[in-house]
Amino acid sequence: MSDLVNEPGAHSRAEILSQPERWSSCLTMLREKRTLEAVRERFAGPGEWLFVGCGSSYYIALSAAATMSLLGGRRARAVPASELLLYPELTLTPDCVPVLISRSGRTSEVLQAAELLKSRDVTTLAISCAPRQPLEALADLTMVLPSADEQSTVMTRSFSSMLLTLQTLAATFAAKGEFLGSLSTLITGAASVLQSTPKRIQDFVATYQFADYVCLGQGPFYGLACECALKVTEMSVSYAQAFHTLEFRHGPKSIVGPETLLVFLLSESGYEAECDVLEEMKSLGGTTLVVANRASARARAAADLLVELSLEIPELARLVSYLFPGQLLGLFTGLKKGLNPDSPRHLSRVVILDKGSSSREPEHAAL
Protein backbone atom coordinates (compact mmCIF):
# COMPACT_ATOMS: atom_id res chain seq x y z
CA MET A 1 0.00 0.00 0.00
CA SER A 2 2.83 2.40 0.87
CA ASP A 3 4.41 1.74 -2.55
CA LEU A 4 1.18 2.79 -4.26
CA VAL A 5 1.06 6.00 -2.21
CA ASN A 6 4.64 6.81 -3.25
CA GLU A 7 3.94 6.38 -6.96
CA PRO A 8 4.03 9.63 -8.98
CA GLY A 9 0.58 11.21 -9.10
CA ALA A 10 -0.92 8.84 -6.51
CA HIS A 11 -2.10 11.62 -4.21
CA SER A 12 -3.53 13.70 -7.06
CA ARG A 13 -5.42 10.74 -8.49
CA ALA A 14 -6.88 9.80 -5.11
CA GLU A 15 -7.88 13.41 -4.43
CA ILE A 16 -9.58 13.78 -7.81
CA LEU A 17 -11.53 10.56 -7.32
CA SER A 18 -12.53 11.50 -3.76
CA GLN A 19 -14.32 14.69 -4.75
CA PRO A 20 -17.99 13.62 -4.53
CA GLU A 21 -17.41 12.06 -1.10
CA ARG A 22 -15.64 15.21 0.14
CA TRP A 23 -18.42 17.44 -1.19
CA SER A 24 -20.85 15.42 0.88
CA SER A 25 -18.66 15.81 3.98
CA CYS A 26 -18.33 19.56 3.49
CA LEU A 27 -22.03 20.14 2.93
CA THR A 28 -22.92 18.00 5.95
CA MET A 29 -20.56 20.00 8.15
CA LEU A 30 -21.93 23.33 6.88
CA ARG A 31 -25.48 22.15 7.53
CA GLU A 32 -24.76 20.83 11.02
CA LYS A 33 -22.91 23.98 12.05
CA ARG A 34 -25.50 26.23 10.36
CA THR A 35 -22.61 28.09 8.77
CA LEU A 36 -24.50 29.31 5.72
CA GLU A 37 -27.29 30.69 7.89
CA ALA A 38 -24.71 32.60 9.95
CA VAL A 39 -23.26 34.11 6.78
CA ARG A 40 -26.70 35.08 5.52
CA GLU A 41 -27.51 36.84 8.79
CA ARG A 42 -24.16 38.67 8.85
CA PHE A 43 -24.19 39.76 5.19
CA ALA A 44 -27.88 40.32 4.60
CA GLY A 45 -27.50 43.76 2.95
CA PRO A 46 -27.92 44.51 -0.75
CA GLY A 47 -24.21 45.10 -1.41
CA GLU A 48 -22.17 43.95 -4.39
CA TRP A 49 -20.29 40.69 -3.81
CA LEU A 50 -16.58 40.84 -4.60
CA PHE A 51 -14.85 37.45 -4.85
CA VAL A 52 -11.07 37.68 -4.39
CA GLY A 53 -8.34 35.07 -4.88
CA CYS A 54 -5.05 34.16 -6.57
CA GLY A 55 -4.47 31.46 -9.21
CA SER A 56 -7.02 28.67 -8.86
CA SER A 57 -8.73 30.61 -6.09
CA TYR A 58 -9.30 33.45 -8.55
CA TYR A 59 -10.84 30.98 -10.98
CA ILE A 60 -13.14 29.83 -8.18
CA ALA A 61 -14.03 33.51 -7.77
CA LEU A 62 -14.97 33.82 -11.45
CA SER A 63 -17.45 30.94 -11.35
CA ALA A 64 -18.75 31.88 -7.89
CA ALA A 65 -19.45 35.45 -9.01
CA ALA A 66 -21.26 34.18 -12.10
CA THR A 67 -23.36 31.88 -9.93
CA MET A 68 -24.23 34.66 -7.47
CA SER A 69 -25.36 36.90 -10.34
CA LEU A 70 -27.31 34.25 -12.25
CA LEU A 71 -28.84 32.44 -9.29
CA GLY A 72 -29.55 35.29 -6.92
CA GLY A 73 -29.78 38.32 -9.15
CA ARG A 74 -27.15 40.07 -7.00
CA ARG A 75 -24.33 42.15 -8.37
CA ALA A 76 -21.10 40.14 -8.17
CA ARG A 77 -17.57 40.43 -9.54
CA ALA A 78 -14.32 38.51 -9.31
CA VAL A 79 -10.87 40.10 -9.06
CA PRO A 80 -7.34 38.81 -8.42
CA ALA A 81 -6.05 39.84 -5.00
CA SER A 82 -3.22 41.72 -6.70
CA GLU A 83 -5.73 43.92 -8.52
CA LEU A 84 -7.35 44.87 -5.23
CA LEU A 85 -3.93 45.66 -3.74
CA LEU A 86 -2.56 47.69 -6.65
CA TYR A 87 -5.75 49.38 -7.80
CA PRO A 88 -8.14 49.48 -4.83
CA GLU A 89 -10.03 52.51 -6.14
CA LEU A 90 -10.87 50.63 -9.34
CA THR A 91 -11.98 47.57 -7.39
CA LEU A 92 -13.85 48.59 -4.25
CA THR A 93 -17.37 49.98 -4.12
CA PRO A 94 -18.94 51.57 -1.03
CA ASP A 95 -21.27 48.65 -0.35
CA CYS A 96 -19.13 45.69 -1.46
CA VAL A 97 -19.03 42.36 0.38
CA PRO A 98 -15.53 40.92 -0.17
CA VAL A 99 -15.15 37.12 -0.12
CA LEU A 100 -11.49 36.15 0.35
CA ILE A 101 -10.56 32.72 -1.04
CA SER A 102 -7.42 30.78 -0.05
CA ARG A 103 -6.98 27.03 0.34
CA SER A 104 -4.14 27.48 2.83
CA GLY A 105 -5.38 30.59 4.61
CA ARG A 106 -1.81 31.87 4.26
CA THR A 107 -1.56 33.24 0.71
CA SER A 108 0.38 36.50 1.07
CA GLU A 109 -1.59 38.61 -1.41
CA VAL A 110 -4.93 37.46 0.01
CA LEU A 111 -3.73 38.27 3.54
CA GLN A 112 -2.57 41.70 2.37
CA ALA A 113 -5.98 42.24 0.77
CA ALA A 114 -7.63 41.26 4.06
CA GLU A 115 -5.42 43.75 5.93
CA LEU A 116 -6.27 46.50 3.46
CA LEU A 117 -9.98 45.87 3.82
CA LYS A 118 -9.69 45.75 7.60
CA SER A 119 -7.92 49.12 7.60
CA ARG A 120 -10.89 50.54 5.67
CA ASP A 121 -13.44 48.99 8.07
CA VAL A 122 -14.85 46.74 5.36
CA THR A 123 -16.50 43.59 6.74
CA THR A 124 -15.12 40.46 5.07
CA LEU A 125 -16.04 36.82 4.55
CA ALA A 126 -13.35 34.21 3.93
CA ILE A 127 -13.28 30.59 2.79
CA SER A 128 -10.38 28.19 3.33
CA CYS A 129 -9.51 24.55 3.83
CA ALA A 130 -7.10 25.04 6.72
CA PRO A 131 -8.31 25.93 10.23
CA ARG A 132 -6.63 28.42 12.57
CA GLN A 133 -4.62 30.21 9.88
CA PRO A 134 -3.92 33.98 9.56
CA LEU A 135 -6.79 34.58 7.12
CA GLU A 136 -9.31 33.31 9.67
CA ALA A 137 -7.99 35.82 12.21
CA LEU A 138 -8.22 38.72 9.76
CA ALA A 139 -11.68 38.02 8.31
CA ASP A 140 -14.89 38.80 10.17
CA LEU A 141 -16.34 35.38 9.37
CA THR A 142 -14.67 32.31 7.81
CA MET A 143 -16.01 29.12 6.28
CA VAL A 144 -13.40 26.37 6.78
CA LEU A 145 -13.52 23.06 4.88
CA PRO A 146 -10.73 20.88 6.33
CA SER A 147 -11.93 17.66 4.71
CA ALA A 148 -11.39 19.22 1.26
CA ASP A 149 -7.67 19.90 1.69
CA GLU A 150 -5.04 17.94 -0.26
CA GLN A 151 -1.62 16.41 0.31
CA SER A 152 -0.51 17.18 -3.23
CA THR A 153 0.60 20.62 -4.33
CA VAL A 154 -2.07 21.21 -6.96
CA MET A 155 -5.66 22.09 -6.06
CA THR A 156 -8.32 19.62 -7.18
CA ARG A 157 -10.91 18.67 -4.56
CA SER A 158 -10.29 21.90 -2.61
CA PHE A 159 -11.20 23.88 -5.76
CA SER A 160 -14.45 22.02 -6.39
CA SER A 161 -15.41 21.94 -2.70
CA MET A 162 -14.89 25.67 -2.17
CA LEU A 163 -16.72 26.50 -5.40
CA LEU A 164 -19.65 24.25 -4.50
CA THR A 165 -19.80 25.82 -1.03
CA LEU A 166 -19.92 29.34 -2.51
CA GLN A 167 -22.58 28.23 -4.97
CA THR A 168 -24.60 26.77 -2.11
CA LEU A 169 -24.21 30.07 -0.28
CA ALA A 170 -25.57 31.90 -3.33
CA ALA A 171 -28.54 29.52 -3.46
CA THR A 172 -29.15 30.05 0.27
CA PHE A 173 -29.25 33.83 -0.20
CA ALA A 174 -31.53 33.48 -3.22
CA ALA A 175 -33.79 30.90 -1.54
CA LYS A 176 -33.31 28.56 -4.51
CA GLY A 177 -34.58 25.30 -3.11
CA GLU A 178 -34.28 23.51 -6.45
CA PHE A 179 -30.51 24.10 -6.46
CA LEU A 180 -30.09 22.98 -2.87
CA GLY A 181 -32.29 19.95 -3.45
CA SER A 182 -30.23 18.86 -6.45
CA LEU A 183 -26.97 18.44 -4.53
CA SER A 184 -27.56 14.82 -3.57
CA THR A 185 -28.20 14.01 -7.23
CA LEU A 186 -25.00 15.87 -8.15
CA ILE A 187 -22.91 13.85 -5.71
CA THR A 188 -24.29 10.49 -6.87
CA GLY A 189 -24.09 11.39 -10.55
CA ALA A 190 -20.58 12.82 -10.30
CA ALA A 191 -19.37 9.65 -8.60
CA SER A 192 -20.75 7.68 -11.55
CA VAL A 193 -18.93 9.94 -14.04
CA LEU A 194 -15.67 9.36 -12.17
CA GLN A 195 -16.00 5.58 -12.51
CA SER A 196 -15.47 5.57 -16.28
CA THR A 197 -13.78 8.87 -17.12
CA PRO A 198 -10.21 8.28 -15.80
CA LYS A 199 -9.53 5.28 -18.08
CA ARG A 200 -10.97 7.09 -21.10
CA ILE A 201 -8.81 10.18 -20.48
CA GLN A 202 -5.74 8.03 -19.84
CA ASP A 203 -6.23 6.13 -23.12
CA PHE A 204 -6.82 9.40 -24.99
CA VAL A 205 -3.61 10.93 -23.63
CA ALA A 206 -1.67 7.79 -24.56
CA THR A 207 -2.97 7.93 -28.14
CA TYR A 208 -2.14 11.55 -29.02
CA GLN A 209 0.84 13.89 -28.78
CA PHE A 210 -0.04 17.56 -28.29
CA ALA A 211 2.04 20.72 -28.59
CA ASP A 212 -0.67 23.17 -27.49
CA TYR A 213 -3.64 22.98 -25.14
CA VAL A 214 -6.61 25.35 -25.28
CA CYS A 215 -9.56 25.30 -22.86
CA LEU A 216 -12.77 27.09 -23.81
CA GLY A 217 -15.87 28.08 -21.87
CA GLN A 218 -18.42 30.90 -21.63
CA GLY A 219 -20.23 32.55 -18.71
CA PRO A 220 -19.89 30.50 -15.50
CA PHE A 221 -17.82 27.96 -17.46
CA TYR A 222 -15.04 30.44 -18.24
CA GLY A 223 -13.53 30.14 -14.74
CA LEU A 224 -13.60 26.36 -15.16
CA ALA A 225 -11.83 26.65 -18.52
CA CYS A 226 -9.11 28.74 -16.86
CA GLU A 227 -8.74 26.11 -14.16
CA CYS A 228 -8.58 23.31 -16.74
CA ALA A 229 -5.73 25.10 -18.52
CA LEU A 230 -3.93 25.68 -15.22
CA LYS A 231 -4.16 21.99 -14.25
CA VAL A 232 -2.55 21.00 -17.54
CA THR A 233 0.17 23.62 -17.06
CA GLU A 234 0.91 22.73 -13.44
CA MET A 235 0.67 18.96 -13.51
CA SER A 236 2.34 18.32 -16.87
CA VAL A 237 4.54 21.41 -17.41
CA SER A 238 2.71 22.00 -20.70
CA TYR A 239 1.67 25.26 -22.33
CA ALA A 240 -2.07 25.76 -22.03
CA GLN A 241 -4.35 28.74 -22.60
CA ALA A 242 -7.97 29.57 -21.78
CA PHE A 243 -10.39 31.73 -23.72
CA HIS A 244 -14.07 32.53 -23.86
CA THR A 245 -15.26 30.07 -26.48
CA LEU A 246 -16.45 32.55 -29.10
CA GLU A 247 -13.44 34.82 -28.52
CA PHE A 248 -11.12 32.07 -29.73
CA ARG A 249 -12.15 32.88 -33.30
CA HIS A 250 -10.72 36.37 -33.03
CA GLY A 251 -7.04 35.63 -33.65
CA PRO A 252 -6.06 32.71 -31.39
CA LYS A 253 -7.50 30.12 -33.79
CA SER A 254 -4.37 30.61 -35.91
CA ILE A 255 -2.61 28.02 -33.71
CA VAL A 256 -5.11 25.26 -34.49
CA GLY A 257 -3.77 22.04 -36.00
CA PRO A 258 -3.69 18.31 -35.26
CA GLU A 259 -1.27 18.83 -32.35
CA THR A 260 -3.59 21.39 -30.73
CA LEU A 261 -5.98 19.92 -28.19
CA LEU A 262 -9.07 22.06 -27.74
CA VAL A 263 -11.14 21.32 -24.63
CA PHE A 264 -14.72 22.56 -25.03
CA LEU A 265 -16.90 23.00 -21.94
CA LEU A 266 -20.30 23.21 -23.62
CA SER A 267 -23.08 25.06 -21.83
CA GLU A 268 -26.79 24.71 -22.47
CA SER A 269 -27.57 28.43 -22.73
CA GLY A 270 -24.91 28.99 -25.41
CA TYR A 271 -24.92 25.50 -26.86
CA GLU A 272 -25.62 26.18 -30.54
CA ALA A 273 -23.16 29.07 -30.81
CA GLU A 274 -20.48 27.08 -28.98
CA CYS A 275 -21.08 24.09 -31.27
CA ASP A 276 -20.49 26.41 -34.24
CA VAL A 277 -17.00 27.13 -32.85
CA LEU A 278 -16.42 23.44 -32.14
CA GLU A 279 -17.25 22.48 -35.72
CA GLU A 280 -15.12 25.31 -37.10
CA MET A 281 -12.07 24.28 -35.08
CA LYS A 282 -12.54 20.66 -36.07
CA SER A 283 -12.63 21.74 -39.73
CA LEU A 284 -9.30 23.52 -39.21
CA GLY A 285 -7.73 20.23 -38.13
CA GLY A 286 -7.78 20.59 -34.34
CA THR A 287 -8.17 17.67 -31.94
CA THR A 288 -11.15 18.08 -29.62
CA LEU A 289 -12.15 16.94 -26.15
CA VAL A 290 -15.78 17.88 -25.50
CA VAL A 291 -17.47 17.99 -22.09
CA ALA A 292 -21.25 18.36 -22.16
CA ASN A 293 -24.18 17.31 -20.08
CA ARG A 294 -25.83 15.84 -23.16
CA ALA A 295 -24.30 16.06 -26.60
CA SER A 296 -26.16 16.61 -29.84
CA ALA A 297 -25.27 14.84 -33.08
CA ARG A 298 -23.25 17.93 -34.04
CA ALA A 299 -21.06 17.71 -30.94
CA ARG A 300 -20.63 13.95 -31.26
CA ALA A 301 -19.44 14.25 -34.85
CA ALA A 302 -16.90 16.98 -33.97
CA ALA A 303 -15.51 15.38 -30.79
CA ASP A 304 -12.43 13.17 -30.75
CA LEU A 305 -13.30 12.40 -27.13
CA LEU A 306 -16.70 13.13 -25.64
CA VAL A 307 -17.41 13.15 -21.90
CA GLU A 308 -21.16 13.25 -21.21
CA LEU A 309 -22.28 13.96 -17.65
CA SER A 310 -25.98 13.09 -18.06
CA LEU A 311 -27.01 14.79 -14.79
CA GLU A 312 -30.70 15.53 -14.23
CA ILE A 313 -30.10 18.81 -12.38
CA PRO A 314 -29.94 22.51 -13.31
CA GLU A 315 -26.87 23.66 -15.22
CA LEU A 316 -25.40 25.80 -12.44
CA ALA A 317 -25.75 22.94 -9.95
CA ARG A 318 -23.51 20.67 -12.00
CA LEU A 319 -20.66 23.10 -12.72
CA VAL A 320 -18.12 21.34 -10.51
CA SER A 321 -18.50 18.07 -12.42
CA TYR A 322 -17.09 19.75 -15.55
CA LEU A 323 -13.73 19.93 -13.76
CA PHE A 324 -12.97 16.20 -13.86
CA PRO A 325 -11.72 15.89 -17.46
CA GLY A 326 -9.31 18.82 -17.10
CA GLN A 327 -7.92 17.54 -13.83
CA LEU A 328 -7.43 14.06 -15.27
CA LEU A 329 -5.94 15.48 -18.47
CA GLY A 330 -3.29 17.28 -16.44
CA LEU A 331 -2.62 14.19 -14.31
CA PHE A 332 -2.19 11.68 -17.14
CA THR A 333 -0.28 14.10 -19.39
CA GLY A 334 2.18 14.68 -16.55
CA LEU A 335 2.59 10.96 -15.97
CA LYS A 336 3.10 10.36 -19.71
CA LYS A 337 5.94 12.90 -19.62
CA GLY A 338 7.58 11.07 -16.69
CA LEU A 339 6.74 13.80 -14.16
CA ASN A 340 5.20 13.65 -10.69
CA PRO A 341 1.94 15.63 -10.82
CA ASP A 342 1.81 15.61 -7.01
CA SER A 343 4.86 17.88 -6.81
CA PRO A 344 5.32 19.99 -9.96
CA ARG A 345 8.64 21.76 -10.39
CA HIS A 346 9.05 25.32 -9.08
CA LEU A 347 5.78 25.08 -7.15
CA SER A 348 4.85 24.88 -3.48
CA ARG A 349 1.46 24.63 -1.81
CA VAL A 350 1.31 28.31 -0.94
CA VAL A 351 2.85 31.56 -2.20
CA ILE A 352 4.39 33.36 0.76
CA LEU A 353 6.11 36.62 -0.17
CA ASP A 354 9.05 38.11 1.69
CA LYS A 355 7.84 41.57 2.70
CA GLY A 356 11.40 42.80 2.95
CA SER A 357 12.40 42.13 -0.65
CA SER A 358 11.10 41.25 -4.08
CA SER A 359 12.19 37.63 -3.68
CA ARG A 360 9.70 34.97 -2.84
CA GLU A 361 9.29 31.35 -1.92
CA PRO A 362 8.78 28.83 -4.77
CA GLU A 363 5.44 29.77 -6.25
CA HIS A 364 2.28 27.80 -6.65
CA ALA A 365 -0.31 29.35 -8.93
CA ALA A 366 -3.26 27.68 -7.18
CA LEU A 367 -3.95 28.53 -3.58
DSSP letters, 227-276, are HHHHHHHHHH---EEEE-GGGGGTTGGGG-STTEEEEEE--STTHHHHHH
pLDDT score, position 349: 59
Q: What is the pTM assigned to this prediction?
A: 0.93
How far apart CA 120 and CA 100 sit, in angstroms, is 15
How far apart CA 23 and CA 228 sit, in angstroms, is 19
3-state helix, strand, coil in the chain (%, to 5): 55, 15, 30
Name, in order, each residue with C-beta under 8 angstroms of 115's C-beta and a sequence gap of 6 or more: 138
Domain 2-176 has CATH 3.30.70.120: no
Q: Which residues pair with 126 in a beta bridge?
A: 100, 142
pLDDT score, position 73: 79
SS3 of residue 180 by DSSP: helix
CATH code of domain 184-336: 3.40.50.10490
SS3 of residue 12 by DSSP: helix
Stretches in the chain below the pLDDT threshold 50: 1-2, 356-366
pLDDT score, position 5: 62
pLDDT score, position 6: 77
**CATH 3.40.50.10490 residue spans of the chain:** 2-176, 184-336
Name, in order, each residue with C-beta under 8 angstroms of 241's C-beta and a sequence gap of 6 or more: 212, 213, 214, 215, 229, 252
